[in-house]
Each structure stands twice: as structure tokens, then as C-alpha cells.
């Protein structure tokens, strides 16, 4: 399972709300009318200085091959291959004097780069 902290979920919901308010209608004007359900897609790609890079994205689609988790009002989807590496991971949102952003805690990681954007397993 992949989990979101309450802080991460609040930030995702805020981003989704902003995204939905900025969607143009048929005439090109912004509107906040009914929109499709949004999911937070969590995944892993090859790359980064440690071998694997974690990814976050908002999406309106999920597939039959996705694992689905609900946390604090956010639907999280993850493809089955990425879930192998991210099982047990927790996504948090932190604000520091250097900035703010989403932070992964991945129990399966055997190492992590200095900036925290990639990991090894």
C-alpha cells in the first residue's frame, strides 16, 4: 500500500481545486463546472543519480493494472510494476526554509541521493 499524510492530501486537494477552476469551457473561459475525478498517480521510472526516480502526477485516468488507494479524500493510483518498489511508501508534504514539496519515505529503498529525488533498491 502507498499512503499519503494528511498534509500531502491537503496539498493535492488544493492543487486539484486550482486545476479544476482553470479548466476552459467551450468558449475558452475558465470555469469551475463539473469535472472528471482526478487521481494522484504515483510511480517509479529509471533514472536519477541513484537508479530509480519516484514520480507524482495528476491524472483523470486509471487502468485495470493500477492499484488504487484512498487517503484523506485523495484517490492514489499506482501501476503494478511501480508498486513493487513503492509498497509501504508514504508521501508527505513538507515546508522548510528552503522551500516546500512532496517527500517520499520508501521503506524498500537501500539508498537515496542527497536531494531526495531518486533512490536505489
Question: Which has more pLDDT, 121 or 83?
Answer: 83
Q: What is the pLDDT of residues 81-117, one digit of tens each?
A: 999 889 999 999 999 888 899 988 888 766 555 555 5
For the chain, the helix, strand and coil percentages under 3-state DSSP, each to the nearest 5: 20, 45, 35
Using the predicted structure, report yes or no on whether residue 33 has a pLDDT greater than 60: no
Residue 79's pLDDT is what? 94
Element spanning 24, H or E: strand 23-24
Query: Are 27 and 69 a contacting pair, CB within 8 Å?
Result: no
The distance of Cα 103 from the centroid of its chain, to the nearest Å, equals 10
On whether the 3-19+36-120 domain is CATH 2.60.300.12, my answer is yes
Amino acid at each position: 500500500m502507498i499512503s499519503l499524510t494528511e498534509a500531502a492530501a491537503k496539498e493535492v486537494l488544493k492543487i486539484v481545486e486550482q486545476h479544476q477552476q482553470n479548466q476552459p469551457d467551450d468558449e475558452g473561459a475558465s470555469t469551475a463546472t463539473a469535472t472528471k475525478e482526478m487521481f494522484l498517480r504515483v510511480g517509479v521510472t529509471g533514472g536519477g543519480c541513484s537508479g530509480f526516480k519516484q514520480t507524482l502526477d495528476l491524472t483523470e485516468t486509471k487502468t485495470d493494472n493500477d492499484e488504487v488507494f484512498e487517503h484523506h479524500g485523495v484517490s492514489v493510483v499506482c501501476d503494478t510494476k511501480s508498486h513493487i518498489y513503492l509498497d509501504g511508501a508514504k508521501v508527505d508534504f513538507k515546508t522548510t526554509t528552503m522551500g516546500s514539496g512532496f517527500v517520499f519515505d520508501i521503506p524498500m529503498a537501500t539508498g537515496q541521493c542527497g536531494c531526495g529525488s531518486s533512490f536505489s533498491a
